[in-house]
Amino acid sequence: MTGTLSENTAPDNAAPDNAGSVLFVDDERAVRLAGQQALELAGFEVTACDGAERALRHLGRDWPGCLVTDVRMPQMDGLALLARVREIDPDLPVILITGHGDVPMAVEAMRNGAYDFLEKPFPSDRLTEIARRAVEKRRLVMENRRLRAQIAGGADPAGTIVGRTPGIERLRTTIAAVADTDADVLVFGETGTGKEMVARALHEASGRRKSPFVALNCGAMPESIFESELFGHEAGAFTGAAKRRVGRIEHASGGTLFLDEIESMPLSLQVKLLRVIQERVVEPLGSNEQVPVDLRVVAATKADLRQAADAGTFRADLYYRLNVVVLTIPPLRERRDDIPLLFQHFVVQAATRYNREPRVPTREQLQRLMGQDWPGNVRELRNAADRFVLGLEEVAPVAAAAPSTLSLAEQVDLFEKGLIQSELARQRGSVKAAIEALNIPRKTFYDKLKRYGLSREDFIE
């Protein structure tokens, strides 16, 4: 069931949402039950075991959560269990429960790979907070591994269109509706918004996905070689043409031809491209033969092609031929609510590329990210995530933020909505955990969900 939550849909005695998985190990029944109850009340899915051997049956490299274990247990103690877990998966977080005299030993265990430790007696909120951080780290590790597997399998993780704002939802819906047709597409967006990513998403969602995706940046191509590069040439067609060359159009046959910055294409070639689009044939330089091509053309521009056509810098007939299906990518400043989700997505990607541990940005850092206008759009945000992972700088210093054109009330609303959305995303849709983290009354939280049109179901993964 989807839709905006109201106070009536989640009363105070509603069951908590799943905050993650915890394996809790203690040989004392009273301690085990108390720990299990505290974690379940905080929204965790808990598996309780009375000994290390039983716990090991549940653990593996795919275990999605963390392990909480007492140190002093018969047969196999917590330190031996930690060593076994490190053999299974050194990235699986292990939290040790110790007595007062065991603190130096627990500190040493942390040097040997334990995630954290709790000294008895400990308050339940301390247990749940450490478990929450451990589970979040585990999720990042698992996401990192998933991306590495995608890369090893040849998949492009950058092809994912990330975001939950209405503009991005409409973009995804339109892509799904037209991807498996042969309709040519015009993609409009500012520099850095991800026009090639959208073109690749169209290609990957179509029946052409096993054929070539051929990209050409019209703005980066010297005019002297543009025609040969696009249409190909026969041997001897011009000085230096020693052998036949297959052009980008012919090479893309069966697949997708992506023409970025099409507004930069010379007028003399626009008429030839128009013929290719209309008749699906290409005539290489120096040839009298027409080569049939079966392709989809995706053109991208940051300019208003209608204005360019009126000004005579772009052919009107080509504009109208391309202007059948138009995909508009909103700039990042118009989808600020997506910034926390995008940034954390890029952090995981960067950690994969650089073989680093993915860092978790703080709520304050995400606030600063949302306060910027990002003139370089998604590309600029991705670069900031790279620097963040490499430890070269903190994210989005306040002094770097561009002046906003929004009113104070609009900025406050945007910030508040973004904080709630970011916290729900971080807590995987757990309302209880988000309320605790934001430290606001439950009724106030649900009133704000209703005001901003947010639904917890949108954040459950």
Mean pLDDT of 363-373: 84
Lowest mean pLDDT: which of 57-66, 120-129, 220-229, 231-240? Answer: 231-240
Question: Of the candidates 105, 116, 122, which has an alpha carbon nearest to the alpha carbon of residue 35?
Answer: 122
The answer to whether 324 and 333 have CB atoms below 8 angstroms apart is: no
Question: What whole-number percentage of the chain has pLDDT above 70?
Answer: 85
Give the CA distances from residue 88 to residues 50, 85, 115, 133, 176, in Å, rounded to whole numbers and listed in that order.
20, 5, 15, 21, 41
Domains, the chain, in order of start with CATH, read 18-152 (3.40.50.2300), 166-329 (3.40.50.300), 333-459 (1.10.8.60)
**Region 34-49 average pLDDT:** 92
In this predicted structure, the answer to whether residue 321 has a pLDDT above a threshold of 60 is: yes
Q: Is the pLDDT of residue 399 over 60?
A: no
In the prediction, which pLDDT does 150 show? 63
* Rounded (10°) angle between helices 363-370 and 408-426: 140
pLDDT digits (tens, 9 = 90+) for 376-390: 999 999 999 999 989
- Does 13 have pLDDT greater than 80? no
Mean pLDDT, all residues of the chain: 83
Of residues 445 and 335, which shows the higher confidence score?
A: 335
* Mean pLDDT, rounded, for 195-201: 94
Evaluate if residue 5 carries a pLDDT over 70.
Answer: no
Average pLDDT over residues 249-258: 95
Q: What is the pTM of this model?
A: 0.61
Considering only CA atoms, which of 165, 179, 196, 190 is closest in space to residue 329? 190
- By percentage, how much of the chain surpasses pLDDT 90? 44
What pLDDT shows up at residue 237?
Answer: 67
Is a pLDDT exceeding 50 seen at residue 66?
yes
pLDDT of residue 415: 65
Max CA separation in the chain (angstroms): 90
pLDDT of residue 158: 44
pLDDT tens, residue by residue, 103-137: 778 778 888 888 988 888 888 999 999 999 898 88
Identify the band that residue 160 occupies on the pLDDT scale cut at 50, 70 and 90: low
pLDDT of the residue at 448: 83
Q: Is 90 exceeded by the pLDDT of residue 196?
A: yes
- pLDDT tens sequence across 74-99: 989 989 999 999 999 999 999 999 87
Which residue would you say has higher pLDDT here, 100 or 65? 65
pLDDT at 281 over 70: yes
Q: What is the mean pLDDT of residues 454-459?
A: 71
Q: Give residue 298's pLDDT.
A: 97
Of the two residues 25 and 419, the one the predictor is more confident about is 25
Of 184-193, 412-421, 426-435, which range is least confident? 412-421
Confidence (pLDDT) at 348: 79
Label each residue of the chain as H, E or C: CCCCCCHHHCCCCCCCCCCEEEEEECCCHHHHHHHHHHHHHCCEEEEEECCHHHHHCCCCCCCCCEEEEECCCCCCCHHHHHHHHHHHCCCCCEEEEECHHHHHHHHHHHHCCCCEEEECCCCHHHHHHHHHHHHHHHHHHHHHHHHHHHHHCCCCHHHCCCCCCHHHHHHHHHHHHHCCCCCCEEEECCCCCCHHHHHHHHHHCCCCCCCCEEEEEHHHCCHHHHHHHHHCECCCCCCCCCCCECCHHHHCCCCEEEEECHHHCCHHHHHHHHHHHHHCEECCECCCCCEECCCEEEEEECCCHHHHHHHCCCCHHHHHHHCCEEEECCCHHHCHHHHHHHHHHHHHHHHHHHCCCCCCCCHHHHHHHHCCCCCCHHHHHHHHHHHHHHCCCCCCCHHHCCCCCCCHHHHHHHHHHHHHHHHHHHCCCCHHHHHHHHCCCHHHHHHHHHHHCCCHHHHCC
